[in-house]
Structure 1
Amino acid sequence: MKSKLMTLALASSAMVATSAMAQDVTITIESWRNDDLVLWQDKIIPAFEAKHSGIKVKFTPSAPAEYNAVLNSKLDAGSAGDLITCRPFDASLALYDAGHLTALDDLEAMSNFSDVAKSAWQTDDGSASFCVPMASVIHGFIYNKEAFEEVGVEVPTTEAEFFAALEAFKADGNYIPMSMGTNDQWEAATMGYNNIGPNYWKGEEGRLALIAGEQKLTDAQWVAPYATLAKWGAYLGDGYEAQTYPDSQNLFTLGRAAIYPAGSWEITGFNAQADFEMGAFKPPVQNAGDTCYISDHTDIGIGMNAKTDNPEAAKIFLAWVASPEFAEIFGNALPGFFPLSNTPVELTDPLAKEIVGWRGECESTIRSTYQILSRGTPNLENDTWGASVAAIKGTSSPEELGAKLQEGLASWYEPQM
């Protein structure tokens, strides 16, 4: 009798275990991209689940401004999702250092990405990578093709041609030559200084030399972009000093401005709002034939919660995110957010195709202030906002701005002391 009961008990346990194994595993993704919810629900998740039966995926975003606080609270409480959408550099590095993100170097799919692509989600020495790169944004200039044709302006490739184009629009008087304000400050640095600057400091060569202490912010290649920005003010239209970021977007999409200093994230919104054909040109070089450099800035990645109850399922999803299938879905559903995998992706949006094509023509780099150099006080990224505004307004000379920034960086960053 005991033997029969034992047999029944073992059989019952086996049935329970088999049933549990047969049930779907559900993994949850934390993200700040709440504007992407429909994309994940309608395209990304169904594509993954169609090929990975047994794994269900939930996308649970927070409001962008609240994401860091909400995520940290969940991580501390042990209630965070299995997968963590990663902002670039220090915010995600802090999560890894706190033990919240898992090193992913043993994930074979990480070989699908270049060192530059992975740099936003690595330790400073590059010994550990903790997020799969998803997409970058590229800086340059978006322009109104109809305005260029009407005024007879050629698309510029050099700085001399660029300022000649601005002067032609100013003389014509029917268009604001370039739509950008300085009220919100960050645009002046992001779409100004770090847009044109890489052509001066030679992209990664200069950026890494600054981190190493081999170059200084008072060197000519770091000061010169401020001198160029100082020329912009004459072409930004009346009242640019009080003009906000949404104001600048509206002026361009309403057809009142000819050129917009841009990040590629604008494409989807501009496509929906502008009723004219748009084109794009990369940051003009100083002289014809110079090597060109673009800010191809790593923007979003995804990592694994170190305390996930579903590590195998989470890694399967991360490997798929590194695949060409995901890259094609993401790149075409969100034109202007460019996949970072080494496998080329065929994009359908004409403006996105034009901009991503610069990768084959120019050397890629990332924003100069984002890795390591903005950890201390004063914060170099925030100081660069103010310096870029001051350059455009002409309230400080380029040399004064370089000296002030260098003094601030050297006050806390040992390689620059």
Structure 2
Amino acid sequence: MTRTLRLALLASTVLAGSAAAQDVTLTIESWRNDDLQIWQDTIIPAFEAANPGIGVVFAPTAPAEYNAILNSKLDAGSAGDLITCRPFDASLELFNSDKLADLTDLAAMENFSDVAKSAWQTDDGAATFCVPLASVIHGFMYNRTAFDELGLEPPATMDEFYTLLDAIQEDGTYIPMAMGSADQWEAATMGYQNIGPTFWKGEEGRRGLIAGEQSLTDEGWVEPFRHLARWGAYLGEGFEAQTYPDSQNLFTLGRAAIYPAGSWEIGVFTPQIDGAFEMGAFPPPVLAEGDTCYISDHTDIALGLNAASPNADAARTFLEWVGSAEFATLYANALPGFFSLNSAPVEMEDPLAQEFVGWRETCEPTIRSTYQILSRGTPNLENETWNASANVLAGTETPEDAAARLQEGLASWYEPQQ
């Protein structure tokens, strides 16, 4: 081998090594181990194709173990570059302990509303530390085939809602609505938090409660309980002992006509029903025609930057892409029922998912009232609201007594309510 050829080969080897050294591999920590294949097959390849030199590995942990394992990794300095963020206090604690970087200056943050970012901000909104990925939307699923058989239409107002339930009840073919009170969270999450924003006027009421300007004994907070008390007549025999899976089965087996729902059920119900009947959805009814429609468009999942990541620049490049319209479309269609929080419109391929997300065009969004700040103390307002909602649904506690108990508990530790 000539000296010239040897030098040429050495030079090419050095250059190749230098190029390889510039390549970065980012690791994503997440509790969503059920969507590993989607990240590997769809999301990551799209990013890597547009960003040569930056590789991405999705490394999830079992959901129940995620918080503990993530905290251990962060303390040990072995956590991935990108951290999947739970909403509100768990992620806020990581930020306050300097485990998550401040992403307020990320250009992509301009693509998200204040409501979308609220789950991953400091209490004063001054700093945002995770890029919102998706929310879940509350409303009502219904058996469209059953509605067609009975000549029924989805309701727009509360009066129409109860007229509809009465008609289904009178016909007797179907249980009007599937919900139980055994698993208390179901009554609160798909009941009280579903219709409640209509009465407390979404963000106006939620923020008023945090500020101490409203009380849980105000009419806007008691009235949703009064409606839950009415629901008991339409839930079928033995609903008091009915679990969440029982409710799901009643609907997917075609025995119940309406299901108070979270959009996450879309991906669960579609294969179970498998064409046995057609599903539809309608938003929480308004009080009167012409009133503002409110929906719980609840912030669920986001992505942050490990403050100790040695690959911060590459990670920020990835997060800018996560905040893009391209990512929003990929993610929302790969996981129907988990909706992009990006302000850019996303064309949904799943027709039922499109119905849910279409409500954003006509309804004011809010999040569950108990999630921000108000469940940091003891008694925990979120858990107490589960119990109160189940009691009211089952008729073992009056709406007024339930509201008074919740208010007393909140005021016992939360200074703005004292």
- TM-score class, shorter-chain normalisation, is over 0.9
CA shift, 1:17, in A, is 10
Contact 1:80 1:305 survives alignment (8 Å): yes
Is 1:234 the counterpart of 2:228 in the alignment? no
1:197-218 per-residue CA deviation (whole Å, 9 max, x = no partner) reads: 0000000001000000000001
Is 1:401 the counterpart of 2:408 in the alignment? no
In the alignment, what sits opposite 1:309? 310
In 2, distance between residues paired with 1:401 and 1:156? Answer: 28
Contact 2:181 2:391 survives alignment (8 Å): no
CA shift, 1:337, in A, is 0.8
In the alignment, what sits opposite 2:356? 355
1:122-180 per-residue CA deviation (whole Å, 9 max, x = no partner) reads: 00001100000011111000000011111222211111111111111112111111111
Q: What's the secondary structure of 2:49's corresponding residue? A: helix
What pairs with 1:274-353 in structure 2 (closer than 5 Å)? 274=273, 275-353=276-354
In the alignment, what sits opposite 2:4? none
In 2, distance between residues paired with 1:148 and 1:168? Answer: 10
In 2, distance between residues paired with 1:318 and 1:394? Answer: 48
Q: What's the secondary structure of 2:264's corresponding residue? A: helix
In the alignment, what sits opposite 2:243? 244
In 2, distance between residues paired with 1:45 and 1:285? Answer: 41
> What one-letter code is carried by the residue in structure 2 that aligns with 1:77?
A
In 2, distance between residues paired with 1:311 and 1:302? Answer: 14
Contact 1:22 1:54 survives alignment (8 Å): no
CA shift, 1:24, in A, is 2.6
CA shift, 1:15, in A, is 3.9
Contact 1:283 1:294 survives alignment (8 Å): yes
TM-score for the superposition, normalised by structure 1: 0.95
In the alignment, what sits opposite 2:265? 266
1:50-82 per-residue CA deviation (whole Å, 9 max, x = no partner) reads: 111111111111111111111111111111111
What pairs with 1:8-407 in structure 2 (closer than 5 Å)? 15=14, 19=18, 22-274=21-273, 275-407=276-408
Contact 2:25 2:56 survives alignment (8 Å): yes
Seq. identity, %: 70
In 2, distance between residues paired with 1:72 and 1:34? Answer: 18
Contact 2:136 2:339 survives alignment (8 Å): yes
Q: What's the secondary structure of 1:363's corresponding residue? A: strand
Between Structure 1 and Structure 2, how many residues are aligned?
A: 407
Q: What's the secondary structure of 1:231's corresponding residue? A: helix
User: RMSD of aligned C-alpha atoms?
Assistant: 1.6
CA shift, 1:287, in A, is 1.3
Contact 1:140 1:281 survives alignment (8 Å): yes
In 2, distance between residues paired with 1:162 and 1:351? Answer: 20
In 2, distance between residues paired with 1:415 and 1:166? Answer: 40
Structure 1 residues 335 and 395, CA, compared in 2 at 3 Å: closer, same or farther? same
CA shift, 1:330, in A, is 0.5
In 1, distance between residues paired with 2:106 and 2:45? Answer: 23
CA shift, 1:18, in A, is 5.7
CA shift, 1:22, in A, is 4.2
CA shift, 1:23, in A, is 4.8
Structure 1 residues 209 and 379, CA, compared in 2 at 3 Å: closer, same or farther? same
377-386 or 53-62: bigger deviation:
53-62
> What one-letter code is carried by the residue in structure 1 that aligns with 2:48?
E
The gaps in structure 2 that reach 5 residues or longer are 1-6
